[in-house]
Amino acid sequence: MGTGLKIRNSGVVQIDSSYFNMALQSKGTLNCSAARNSLFWYGTLDVVSASGLPPLAIRSTTRPHFVFCSRLSTTTFRYFVYVYGGSATVSYWVFQPPVYEQGAGGAGLLLRNGATGNVTFDSRKKYMNILQQYSGTLDYFAGQVIDLPFSHSNIAVIQGARPEQVNWDLVGTDPGGGEEWLYLSAYGTFQNLSSTIRIRYSTWFEGQFSSQQGPAISAPDLRLIVIDTSRL
């Protein structure tokens, strides 16, 4: 049975009918200048996608950042990009599966999956170039910092999940007889330092405080992808 077109590099198949990668949909800068409190500033980015939550890569060189997302409708997602310590402007890249647009001009090389008919490669698109995937935990009590070195500075982070653990804890009573609660959040932040991605464990307190010890929090799970943006 015919296999269609295969593209090899040093004998290894790089592209065939089963090839899949995420194509660049949009890129730009996002101003994170809305104050959440005295520690965090944020900006929002709305993305339309019919194929589920689209990956968002962020490069933040001046402030540590983290990202979470809410779904506004079946096809619209709102990203919240938080930066720590002051307002900042970050660079972003949004990715989607490649879709061939009829009437958009010459396609160059276009490959489809023979079984599904879905476009697997379109030479007009720019594709995600993954440098490294990382998963693990950060140990709050050790004050752990993880530095991931790379050979150049054209890198950005796709956060796999919001790296956070949250606890509410009853810590006492206020003078009026009501209960006092402590909100303690532990999370991971990411920052571009030249050719290094720095991952740091941080804490965020809100609500009423007392002299009692706050609740212990498990180290958050971290999942991230580092990509090369030099050709995007």
Q: Per residue in 212-224, pLDDT tens?
A: 444 455 556 678 8
End-to-end alpha carbon distance in the chain = 37
Mean pLDDT along residues 18-37 = 89
| pLDDT for residue 2 is more than 60 | no
pTM of the model as a whole: 0.79
Q: Retrieve residue 103's tokens.
A: 């009437």
Percent of the chain surpassing pLDDT 90? 27
Q: Are 3 and 15 in contact (CB under 8 A)?
A: no
Under a CB-based contact definition with an 8 Å cutoff, are residues 135 and 30 in contact?
Answer: no
Contact 199, 188 (CB under 8 A): yes
Q: Once rounded to an integer, what is the mean pLDDT over residues 119-148?
A: 78
Domain-by-domain residue ranges, the chain? 7-122, 130-228
Q: What is the pLDDT of residues 150-209, one digit of tens each?
A: 988 899 999 876 555 555 555 555 555 555 554 455 567 888 888 898 887 666 555 554
Confidence of residue 46 (pLDDT cuts 50, 70, 90): very high
pLDDT-wise least confident of 39-43, 94-98, 103-107, 148-152: 103-107
| Exposure string for 59-92, b = 16+ CB within 10 A, e = fewer | bbeebbbbbbbeeeeeeebebbbbbbeeebebbb
